[in-house]
């Protein structure tokens, strides 16, 4: 992408801010970066960070935005309009999906994206203000593979376009307070199911695959509180240890349905995958039943086709 295009994008964003008009802010955050760095070392972490930037940089500029700065485990970008930010976020998640499917020997990149809208202050090419803080906090709420947006982004995007988004409810964001958030749906999905504590979402796609979206806290192994949270979700043959938790979280994010087993046990959804069993605790029974029915129809159809 040419330097002149990036400059034009920056000038447009600056002009809007100077005129008192709002812009969209995007944060993209690599999941599990700290634990990956501790486990694999600084060189491996640097390579992962560079892959992330490579995947995002040109797409941000092509989408009409500006890469404001890189943060090691994430990036911050700005766009003149929420349409551009949403479109770029979707493009990024799709590119990461392709990258993870095609990468050989490289660890998957797992990214959560947060979008906000407001009038931050531009200083020496950087941005500061509430919209920046909000986008960063929203990105921390996003699961791996998820795009979350503020209500202001949703309202302004839908003013001109039809946006496929679902409300995820009120979230208490550190240092900000309660905010209504919306998930931007970018996968061609058939059904989804989530546990009571919103720690893991399973998405059945039209490709006859299931995508795993784990919460950010499930990637971190340093906090006993977060480790306890994992144990509420994950187990293996009746046991629950940090090693088994890490093994489940380390699974690839997308799997063919014929390599999985799913069953409802009361209010828990048990998933068998790659020698590991993990359980979504306290799923909504009717939603879980719909998910299982759709999963079984897709698997039966795939087996019949084979």
Which positions ≥6 away from 41 have C-beta within 8 Å?
Answer: none
Architecture of domain 189-305: Roll (2.30)
Q: Which sign, positive or negative, has the C-alpha torsion 81, 27, 44, 46?
A: positive
The confidence score (pLDDT) of residue 104 equals 61
Range of lowest pLDDT (8-17, 150-159, 289-298) = 150-159
Between the CA of residue 43 and those of 34, 73, 214, what are the distances in Å? 13, 13, 25
pTM greater than the 0.85 cutoff: no
pLDDT band at residue 276 under the 50/70/90 scheme: confident
Which positions ≥6 away from 287 have C-beta within 8 Å?
Answer: 193
- Three-state secondary structure along the chain? CCHHHHHHHHHHHHHHHHCCCCEEEEEEEECCHHHHHHHHCHHHHHHHHHHHHHHHHHHHHHCCEEEEEECCCEEEEEECCHHHHHHHHHHHHHHHHHHHHHCCCCCCCCEEEEEEEECCEEECCEEECHHHHHHHHHHHHCCCCCEEEEHHHHHHHHCCCCCCEEEEEEEEECCCEEEEEEEECCCCEEEEEECCCCCEEEEEECCCEEEEEECHHHHCCCCHHHHHHHHHHECECCECCHHHHHHHHCCCCEEEHHHEEEEEECCEEEEEECCEEEEECCCCHHHHHHHHHHHHHHHHHHHHHC
pLDDT band at residue 132 under the 50/70/90 scheme: very high
Architecture of domain 3-184: 2-Layer Sandwich (3.30)
The confidence score (pLDDT) of residue 25 equals 98
Question: Could you tell me the two tokens for 34?
Answer: 């700290």
Range of lowest pLDDT (35-39, 64-68, 110-114) = 35-39
Residue 265 has pLDDT above 60, yes or no: yes
The confidence score (pLDDT) of residue 187 equals 87
Residue 166 has pLDDT above 70, yes or no: yes
Mean pLDDT of 33-59: 90
Range(s) within the chain of domains with CATH label 3.30.70.1230? 3-184
Contact between residue 117 and residue 94 where contact means Cβ atoms under 8 Å apart: no
The confidence score (pLDDT) of residue 54 equals 92
pLDDT band at residue 273 under the 50/70/90 scheme: confident
Higher pLDDT, 223 or 85: 85
pLDDT band at residue 108 under the 50/70/90 scheme: confident
User: Can you give the C-alpha Rg of the chain in angstroms?
Assistant: 20
Range(s) within the chain of domains with CATH label 2.30.29? 189-305
Residue 236 has pLDDT above 50, yes or no: no
């Amino acid at each position: 992408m040419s330097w002149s295009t990036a400059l034009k994008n920056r000038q447009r964003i600056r002009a809007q801010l100077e005129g008192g008009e709002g812009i969209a802010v995007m944060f993209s955050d690599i999941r599990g970066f700290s634990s990956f760095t501790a486990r694999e070392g600084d060189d491996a972490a640097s390579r992962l960070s560079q892959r992330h930037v490579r995947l995002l940089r040109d797409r941000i500029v092509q989408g009409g935005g500006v890469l404001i700065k890189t943060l090691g485990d994430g990036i911050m970008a700005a766009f003149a309009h929420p349409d551009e930010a949403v479109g770029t976020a979707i493009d990024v998640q799709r590119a990461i999906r392709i990258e993870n499917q095609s990468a050989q020997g490289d660890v998957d990149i797992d990214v959560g994206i947060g979008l906000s809208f407001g009038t931050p202050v531009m200083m020496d090419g950087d941005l500061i203000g509430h919209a920046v803080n909000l986008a960063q906090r929203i990105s921390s709420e996003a699961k791996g593979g998820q795009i979350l947006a503020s209500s202001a982004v949703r309202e302004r995007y839908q003013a001109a376009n039809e946006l496929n988004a679902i409300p995820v409810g009120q979230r208490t964001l550190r240092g900000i307070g309660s905010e209504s958030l919306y998930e931007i749906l970018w996968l061609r999905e058939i059904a989804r199911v989530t546990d009571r504590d919103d720690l893991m979402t399973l998405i059945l796609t039209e490709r006859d695959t299931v995508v795993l979206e784990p919460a950010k806290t499930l990637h971190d192994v340093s906090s006993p509180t977060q480790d306890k949270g994992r144990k509420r979700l994950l187990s293996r043959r009746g046991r629950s240890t940090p090693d088994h938790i890490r093994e489940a979280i380390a699974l690839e994010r997308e799997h063919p349905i014929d390599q999985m087993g799913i069953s409802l046990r009361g209010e828990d959804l048990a998933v068998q995958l790659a020698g590991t069993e993990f359980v979504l605790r306290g799923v909504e029974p009717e939603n879980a039943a719909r998910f299982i029915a759709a999963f079984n129809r897709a698997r039966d159809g795939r087996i019949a086709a084979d």
